[in-house]
């Protein structure tokens, strides 16, 4: 069994092109702001440390403690000491569909969802192979066009996918070939606020949230009801990059926006 050095992510990662920092001394109960917070030591991981490409598009830590880093030079797995890198191999359908990776999400069984070259891939942890999923323009039930970016697996097993300009695809957990699509209609306020959406999160009630350049959307997966927040016209245009749902306050959503942090009460809309 490979030993994994403890690593803790304490920052909100929104996709960046900068050196990756990993904490090597993780407290048992991390505190964001505290007068008793421990002194943290960071390591700067770069090409000299074994990365194939340093422009990180996305970073997650899986349930086993491994760090997964999506870069334009392949998918990196880091165990605290060294990297294992997965790339595209020509004529090998069990490799990544592209070495340019972006979206990352862990599946309920420990597999990894990856968007690479705009296509959806599933990484089998047991045999270390990838399954590639392709859009069929003649079949409206397949995933959105092959420019997928963000991916998220909900607690109920549904898979959510984002395609810039094309909106959202949802693959229900009980189906392998049925896709529900959510797209913006300027004449229908019950649709998502924009077809350019960013990052999925899930609240305590199982609602899916996704930001956009025109506010943030909440989707009820049981009824498909869509609620928009912070949408124009307002005194500011809110580009919502990501969301955080504090577990002790189910009605409160913290939003990372182009105008700073916003505290939103989803019940009142304020």
- Contact partners, residue 37, CB within 8 Å, separation at least 6: 31
DSSP β-bridge partners for residue 233: none
| Residue 230 domain flag | yes
| Residue 103 domain flag | yes
| Residue 255 domain flag | no
pLDDT at position 36: 64
In the three-class reduction of DSSP (H, G, I as helix; E, B as strand; rest coil), residue 48 is classed as: helix
For the chain, the domain total comes to 1
List, for residues 221-265, the tens digit of each pLDDT value: 999 999 999 887 765 678 898 899 998 888 899 999 888 888 999
| Residue 2 domain flag | no
With a cut of 80, say whether residue 64 has pLDDT above it: yes
CA 127 to each of CA 31, 68, 84, 145, 157: distance values in angstroms, whole numbers, following the listed order: 38, 17, 14, 28, 22
What's the whole-model pTM score? 0.78
| Residue 267 domain flag | no
CATH of residue 119: 2.130.10.10
With a cut of 80, say whether residue 11 has pLDDT above it: no
- Residue 14: φ, ψ to 5°: -120, 15
| Residue 266 domain flag | no
How far is 211 from 218, CA to CA, in rounded Å?
Answer: 9
* Confidence band for 270, pLDDT divided at 50, 70 and 90: confident
* Confidence band for 20, pLDDT divided at 50, 70 and 90: very low
pLDDT at position 39: 73
How far is 196 from 162, CA to CA, in rounded Å?
Answer: 8
Structure tokens at 2: 């490979």
| Residue 182 domain flag | yes
Tell me which residue range forms the domain holding 198.
20-29+38-241
| Residue 168 domain flag | yes
Contact 224, 205 (CB under 8 A): no
* Closest of 260, 264, 219 to residue 236, by C-alpha: 260
């Amino acid at each position: 069994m490979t030993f994994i050095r403890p690593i803790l992510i304490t920052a909100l990662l929104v996709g960046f092109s900068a050196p990756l920092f990993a904490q090597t001394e993780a407290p048992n109960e991390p505190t964001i702001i505290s007068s008793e917070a421990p002194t943290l030591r960071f390591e700067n991981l770069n090409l000299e440390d074994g990365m194939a490409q340093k422009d990180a598009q996305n970073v997650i830590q899986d349930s086993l403690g491994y760090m997964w880093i999506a870069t334009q030079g392949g998918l990196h797995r880091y165990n605290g000491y060294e990297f294992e890198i997965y790339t595209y191999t020509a004529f090998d359908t069990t490799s990544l569909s592209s070495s340019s990776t972006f979206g990352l999400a862990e599946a309920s069984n420990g597999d990894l969802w990856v968007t690479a070259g705009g296509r959806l891939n599933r990484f089998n942890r047991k045999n270390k192979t990838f399954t590639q999923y392709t859009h069929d323009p003649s079949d409206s039930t397949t995933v959105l066009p092959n420019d997928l970016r963000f991916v998220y697996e909900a607690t109920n097993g549904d898979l959510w996918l984002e395609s810039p300009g094309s909106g959202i695809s949802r693959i229900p957990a009980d189906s392998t070939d049925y896709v529900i699509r959510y797209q913006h209609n300027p004449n229908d306020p019950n649709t998502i606020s924009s077809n350019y959406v960013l990052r999925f999160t899930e609240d305590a009630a199982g609602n899916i949230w996704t930001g956009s350049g025109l506010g943030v959307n909440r989707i009820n997966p049981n009824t498909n009801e869509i609620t928009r927040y912070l949408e124009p016209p307002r005194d500011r245009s809110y580009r919502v990059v990501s969301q955080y749902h504090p577990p002790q306050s189910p009605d409160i959503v913290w939003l990372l926006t182009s105008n700073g942090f916003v505290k939103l009460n989803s019940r009142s809309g304020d």
